[in-house]
Amino acid sequence: MKATNKFLKPLAIIGLALGASTAGAAGWPDQTITMVVPYPPGGPTDIVARVAAQGLSEKLGQTVVVDNKAGAGGNIGADYVARAKPDGYTLLVATTAHAINMSLFKDLNYDTRTSFEPVSGLTEGPLVVVTRPDLGVKNVQELIKLAKSAEQPLTFASSGNGQSTHLSAELFNSMAGIKMTHVPYRGSAPAMTDIMGGQVDVMFNTMLSSMPYVKDGKMTALAVTSAKRSPAAPDLPTIAETGLYGYEATAWNGLLVPKGTPAEVVGKLNAALKDVMSQPEVQEKFSAQGFDANWMSPPDFKTYLDNEVSKWADVVKTSGATVN
């Protein structure tokens, strides 16, 4: 009898734990949800997060608060969520940077592919290739031709080492067989100032930041980096259309939760997001930031993440990009 009890007691404890977990998932959400944005307030990712948080709050009947935990290229916020309790009450708004950082940083405390459960994509949008107004090129092929023939290498600006504005241009360098010289800045605003002032030749930048200056004639837009043309600038071709077949680079946001979050909670979050992101007013708010709504099932978003990590690892390796 004692031997039987010896084995039954641990099994009972496991059963109670599983029961508590199931009950917790069934009752989710019954308290405030925190959506961690790993960047400062006011930027595109923060704005997207606040739109999503408001919609989720209305759908789920619980407050969803946005908590900005900026720093280290998005790593501080990601690490915080990776270590959070996997109960569905702490969410991460991940970005392209969290795919890039996997190979850019050598000492991360988290793994974008294995430290989280994927919930869904949120938004996706292209960058736009812009040049200083007097560079004298009107399309991508002319830019490539100039880069190959110029006595001095052309220069391209970015909002910082390892950012999507940097590595999308490095991918272009590699696929076009050219070598424009990288000039990193602390943010896109000073980079655009130097593009317009003629100190730098080219930039792969967000549409939201760039298009007002393009319309004013202060910069020239050549193409967008996505696989399809952008509704925000339908007359601009894609880079792939111009002859660089297979080129694609986008800025995206997606939702992750800590590894071990119950599948039922992930499913509820995903379903709520699908409803939120199907609303025309939400899509309009995303569009105003230069993004399209990008809902996915959890398995599809996992595949998307894995592909992004692999893709940018190749670009980092080829370009020799560092964060130093």
Q: Read off the pLDDT of each residue in 23-35 and give the average, rounded to a whole number.
A: 89
Give residue-wise pLDDT tens across range 147-165: 999 999 999 999 888 889 9
**Residue 7: inside a domain, yes or no?**
no
Instruction: Kindly state the helix (H) or strand (E) to which residue 268 belongs, with its residue range.
Output: helix 263-277
Give residue-wise pLDDT tens across range 245-263: 999 999 999 999 999 999 9
CA angle 193, 234, 275 (to 5 degrees): 100
**Residue 1: inside a domain, yes or no?**
no
The DSSP result for 62-121, as a single string, is S-EEEEE---GGGHHHHHHHHTS-SSSSEEEEEEHHHHHHHHH-SS-SS-TTTSEEEEEE
Give percent of the chain with pLDDT exceeding 70.
92
Looking at the structure, do residues 211 and 168 belong to the same domain, yes or no? yes
Tokens of 210: 């760039």
- Parallel, antiparallel, or unpaired: how do β-strands 33-37 and 64-68 relate? parallel
CATH number of the domain enclosing 165: 3.40.190.10
Is the Cα dihedral 135, 136, 142, 147 positive or negative?
negative
Instruction: Kindly report each contact of residues 278-286 with a partner whose C-beta sits within 8 Å and lies 24 or more positions away, as own/partner.
Output: 279/55, 282/51, 282/52, 282/55, 285/47, 285/51, 286/48, 286/51, 286/123
CATH number of the domain enclosing 72: 3.40.190.150
Looking at the structure, do residues 293 and 260 belong to the same domain, yes or no? yes
Looking at the structure, do residues 130 and 119 belong to the same domain, yes or no? no
Q: Which pLDDT score, from 0 to 100, does residue 38 have?
A: 95
Looking at the structure, do residues 102 and 153 belong to the same domain, yes or no? no
**Number of independent structural domains in the chain:** 2
Looking at the structure, do residues 165 and 206 belong to the same domain, yes or no? yes
Q: Which pLDDT score, from 0 to 100, does residue 51 have?
A: 98
Looking at the structure, do residues 258 and 120 belong to the same domain, yes or no? yes
**Residue 101: inside a domain, yes or no?**
yes
Q: Which pLDDT score, from 0 to 100, does residue 269 have?
A: 98
Q: Which residues pair with 68 in a beta bridge?
A: 37
Looking at the structure, do residues 87 and 157 belong to the same domain, yes or no? no
What does the alpha-carbon distance between residue 132 and residue 197 come to, in Å, rounded to a whole number? 7
Looking at the structure, do residues 73 and 104 belong to the same domain, yes or no? yes
Instruction: Kindly report each contact of residues 230-233 with a partner whose C-beta sits within 8 Å and lies 24 or more positions away, as own/partner.
Output: 230/125, 230/126, 230/290, 231/287, 231/292, 232/207, 232/287, 232/290, 233/128, 233/207
**Residue 100: inside a domain, yes or no?**
yes
Query: Nearest-CA neighbor of 159 among 247, 245, 44, 69?
Result: 44
Please tell me the pTM assigned to this model: 0.88
Q: Which pLDDT score, from 0 to 100, does residue 322 have?
A: 81
Q: Which pLDDT score, from 0 to 100, does residue 70 have?
A: 93
Give the single-character DSSP code of 123. Answer: E
**Residue 11: inside a domain, yes or no?**
no
Among 207, 224, 241, identify where a domain stops. 224
Q: Read off the pLDDT of each residue in 158-187 and give the average, rounded to a whole number.
A: 94
Looking at the structure, do residues 61 and 114 belong to the same domain, yes or no? yes
Among 181, 206, 224, identify where a domain stops. 224
Mean pLDDT, all residues of the chain: 92
**Residue 4: inside a domain, yes or no?**
no
Looking at the structure, do residues 109 and 142 belong to the same domain, yes or no? no
**Residue 237: inside a domain, yes or no?**
no
What does the alpha-carbon distance between residue 268 and residue 186 come to, in Å, rounded to a whole number? 39
Give residue-wise pLDDT tens across range 190-208: 999 999 999 999 999 999 8
Per the structure, the complete domain to which residue 149 belongs is given by: 126-224
Looking at the structure, do residues 191 and 256 belong to the same domain, yes or no? no
Looking at the structure, do residues 153 and 298 belong to the same domain, yes or no? no
What does the alpha-carbon distance between residue 43 and residue 35 come to, in Å, rounded to a whole number? 15
Q: How confident is the model at residue 26 (pLDDT cuts 50, 70, 90)?
A: confident
**Residue 180: inside a domain, yes or no?**
yes
Q: How confident is the model at residue 18 (pLDDT cuts 50, 70, 90)?
A: low
Q: Which pLDDT score, from 0 to 100, does residue 10 have?
A: 55
